[in-house]
Chains A and B, each alone.
Chain A
Amino acid sequence: MARLNADNEKRARDLIALYPESRSSLIPMLHVAQEQDGWLMPDAIAHVAELLDLTAAEVYGTASFYDMFFTHPVGRHLVSVCTNIACLLNGGFELLEHAEKSLGVSGGGTTHDGEFTLEEVECIALCGEAPCLAVNWRFFGSVTPERFDTLMADLRSGALADEVPPHGTLCRVRRSVGLPAAATPESVTGPEVPSAPGGGRPQSPGTT
């Protein structure tokens, strides 16, 4: 996939309708695109630009500014190891070194099977459980080298699929508040929500 598929184009158009200035929806639309392909493919950027009547260069300029948007391919799991002060004191660098050895890639690299991309990050706000890491922005604390290997194995096998969606998915709950009344029932209710931690479906009044 490259351009937004029909469902995602619909979501993108719903997002445009939320804002008085269409280009205000640029960032949420880029999240839709990144959710679709795991990273921002050039055709998806061009499609977003088309929908917003911007040039692809303008969208690319914005997308490249933010660290959470990727304009180059990343693996299904983005493993972000923190090496900021609290983690550093508790073995963050040792964890990163282990991760590099264990996955066989250095910081910023992607494994050959496209499963993991490893990156070194600054504080991800889990200092109480240092050293910590995030996988696709789901957080794991007190990570020892052994726990790291188990975690990677579980991610690879799909055992953690409920907790950690593929890279690009910020949230499995689709936003429904404020969307136009014309939205399809599907996009209002969204897909099945996993019962995993934090899975309670927010039901906002006035959207049914």
Chain B
Amino acid sequence: MAEQTENKPDTVTITLDGKRVTAKPGEMLIAAAERAGVYIPRFCYHPRMRPVGMCRMCLVEVKGPRGFGLAPACFIPTSEGQEVVTTSPTVKKAQDGVLEFLLVNHPLDCPVCDKGGECPLQDQTVAFGPGETRFVEEKRHWAKPIALSDLVYLDRERCIQCDRCTRFADEVAGDPLIEFVGRGDSIEVNTFPDQPFSSYFSGNTVQLCPVGALLARPYRFKARPWDLEQVESTCTMCSVGCRIAVQSSSNELTRYLGVDSEPVNHGWLCDQGRFSYQYVNSDERISSPLVRKGDELVECSWGEALAATAKALESAKAVHGPGAVAVLGGARLANEDAYAWAKLAKGVLGTDNVDAQLGDGLPAELVLGLPRATIDEACAASAIVLLAPDIKEELPVLYLRLREAAVDKGVPLVELTPQSTGLSRYAKASLSYRPGEAALLAKALVDGATGDVAGSKAAAVNGARALLGDNPVVVLGRPSVAESAASITAAAAALAGLPGVRFLPALRRANVMGALDMGLAPGILPGRVSLDAGRDWFSSVWTTLPTGAGLDAAGILSAAAEGRIQALVLLGADPAADFPDRQLARQALAGAGFVVAVDAFLTESSRQADVVLPAAAFAERHGTTTNIEGRITSLGQKIVPNGVSWPDWMIAVELAARLGTELGFETVEQVWDEVERVAPSHAGITCALLADRRFRDGVTAPLGAAPPAITGTGSAPAPRPALLAFSGEAPAVSLPPLDAYSLRLVSRRTLYGNGTLVQHAPGLAALAKSPCARANPSDLDRLGMGKGGQVRVRSNRANFLIDAEPDPGVPRGSLSLAFNSVDLEGSDAGALIDADAVVTDVRVETP
């Protein structure tokens, strides 16, 4: 939240402790001083939040018309000729006084406090405090701690009322569920009775707290900060790519802390990311290779498992051709793993039946071929158009960034959605469309509407159109998995006609963009080139290439269900839970000849595999990952892999060796060197460049016209193939008519769901909500269930009983079911959805 204004000079000069210092005009003194190397102590000030001047710790002497006087440095903007003194006896006396006062009620329980050792109050008392107190009175006492939510505990005795947590909840997260309650010496931070601090971002307050008042329940009493080792890494719970510090003790992960990355997360994390380290520590992890013996999976050696796998792959290819081998998944792997597997599948086995997305994403040609925007560019665009799932649920920190852009910078949000989202309340225009009609609405937004379209009023569409400006950014994803990718592709093709438009993909799996960049999609080769365009280039580096474009996830599963896939590799993929059409996924797993699962956990899918290969999890290996912007950042290793787990790239190398081909990698760096050499979009992004501190926030691929000065091991000499560009051709979508008694299904994910990783993190698994159907109150009224209650939902696939709730955010004629709610046997949206249909229509009946 910079305090700059346009028509002032670029810099001002102030005198700080007798030295002349250049500062930005309007910047707060405390920030200007910090940049000049003068640390002014503080508790309430935080560079990412608005100043409040609550704690008075940053008092300095500023010269005014009547001479020097004390003023809070966090609240005084710099101005030309300002004279500031930070070390005078007056300042020292003020600091002594403030600290003595802050400690009036603060308990001296540092030895049992989580914050002890990394506590700003402790540190600044030592550095700036008086050393002794004159207070002898009894300190105030509260019950301690109390639970503000399932994840955050509050020790009110330790609170120094700095307003950081409450400001964060209000200003940054937009969930003002904690407030100062009471007044004077009885003031406390608290929630409204019985309304917990159930914000997706609550964990940030623990990191922000300058004392040990706010405690993370999963970390409480688990470690002392000085015992922790740490490495910088990138969170891989979703594809935003927040920078984190991974901390461990005795080879066990203890916590993640948000690292302030200017282009990405501004230091914030969502709770799903922050507490996801628990799954790495889970006892349920697979620790050794498993091979099927009859009905059971039994532990075996790597040699046995790899030999069985290689044999199955080889015979499938030899007997039925390369097309009988398929690889699903890979969107949770590191870039190097994805490249190694792409090389194994396409360059060794010669199959193009490879898809990192599980039918809940968008075609690679579209995602890779559209002009890309970064998050910063989106936040500075003339307008942000959302044709995406609920960003708050799937990419929470992107939600924070977009919310900040809308609220603080006034960037208009225009939303095209089948159901209201977490961003709806900040949107200038929230246009709802009936499932399947996204393209109609998108076209109307581009060309102007003459009549009502897809359920939105013409005036609203035209009003939204007037907001777009000349460089809008479209946040593009699948608003509902019950609406086909073709429908959204057609809408994206229409939106691509907006002048100056760029796109920010909103696909959720951690490294889905990296997997697509590395070629884990049908018809694509590493480096964002099509199979046809890259054929010549890659035939010089790979031994073989697929003959033609292969099948996507839906195609692979259909083929498997029909018995045409003899060997199916699942790379951390659980199609039985993640593919929108559950029936097809189950048939496919049953129909595939041989299933190999590379995974960290036994999932519904990997339980049916013939061989399960244990993969190293997050923080157990290093490498790189790619976020939605195409930003490549590092993954750090902090602990040794569980059991005999291997990183995925190593598994690919070993398998290739057993198939008689050397992939040519012995280290993860060698994989990246080859990526840099052969992937056209990644030219110049060398290991050395990624390791450079100047690029600690990562670099976006492809590098611009002037790549950073550091050069790598040298590039390949031949002309590189051109990068993919979206053709603009959209598939024709024909929508079945809706009968008057049916509702059209909308199905989205929620943050805490049935996902394997969330379910294996005890702190998060408890937060998953039970399934619930939502419909417009008028639709429920029609059934005589205006207040909600149990209903039977029926599609031509399945039917089940489920609780229904009225929700005005769901337009009339639609029914919303969370896609990933914890499964009551069979009662989930996946059972209703048919992958071949554009939309899914359901009937809702009283039971």
Give chain A's interface residues, CB within 8 Å of chain B.
Answer: 42, 45-46, 54-61, 64-65
Contacts and interface: CB of A to CB of B under 8 A. Distances in A.
A54 B180 CA distance: 15
Nearest to A54: B176
Interface of B: 175-183, 190-195
B183 A55 contact: no
A109 B178 CA distance: 28
Contacts of B179: 57-58, 60-61
Nearest to A53: B425
Nearest to A61: B179
For the complex of A and B, the 6 pairs showing the least CB-CB separation, nearest first, are A61-B179, A56-B192, A57-B192, A64-B181, A57-B179, A60-B192
A10 B177 CA distance: 27
Contact of A56 (B175, B180, B183, B195): B195
Contacts of B194: 42
Contacts, number: 37
A58 B189 CA distance: 11
A57 B191 contact: yes
Contacts of B190: 57
Contacts of B182: 64-65
Contacts of B181: 60-61, 64
A58 to B, nearest CB: 5
B176 A55 contact: yes
Given A42-B194, A59-B192, 13 more contacts: A42-B193, A54-B176, A55-B175, A56-B192, A56-B195, A57-B179, A57-B190, A57-B192, A57-B195, A60-B179, A61-B179, A64-B181, A65-B180
Given A42-B193, A42-B194, A57 B183 contact: no
B171 to A, nearest CB: 13
Contacts of A54: 176
A58 B193 CA distance: 12
Best-surrounded residue of A42, A54, A57, A64 (most CB of chain B within 10 A): A57
A55 to B, nearest CB: 5
A58 B183 contact: no
A61 B166 CA distance: 11
B710 to A, nearest CB: 49
B844 to A, nearest CB: 28
A57 B183 CA distance: 15
Most chain A beta carbons < 10 A, residue from B176, B179, B194? B179
Contacts of A56: 192, 195
Nearest to B179: A61
Contacts of A61: 179-181
Contacts of B175: 55
Contacts of B183: 64-65
Nearest to A64: B181
A23 to B, nearest CB: 12
Contacts of A55: 175-177, 192, 195
A21 B175 CA distance: 20
A40 B142 CA distance: 24
A56 B198 CA distance: 13
B146 to A, nearest CB: 14
Contacts of A65: 180, 182-183
Nearest to B195: A56
Which residue, of B182, B192, B195, has the highest number of chain A Cβ atoms within 10 A? B192
A54 B178 CA distance: 12
Contacts of B192: 42, 45-46, 55-57, 59-60
28 contacts: A45-B192, A46-B192, A54-B176, A55-B175, A55-B176, A55-B177, A55-B192, A56-B192, A57-B177, A57-B178, A57-B179, A57-B190, A57-B191, A57-B192, A57-B195, A58-B176, A58-B179, A60-B179, A60-B181, A60-B192, A60-B193, A61-B180, A61-B181, A64-B181, A64-B182, A64-B183, A65-B180, A65-B182
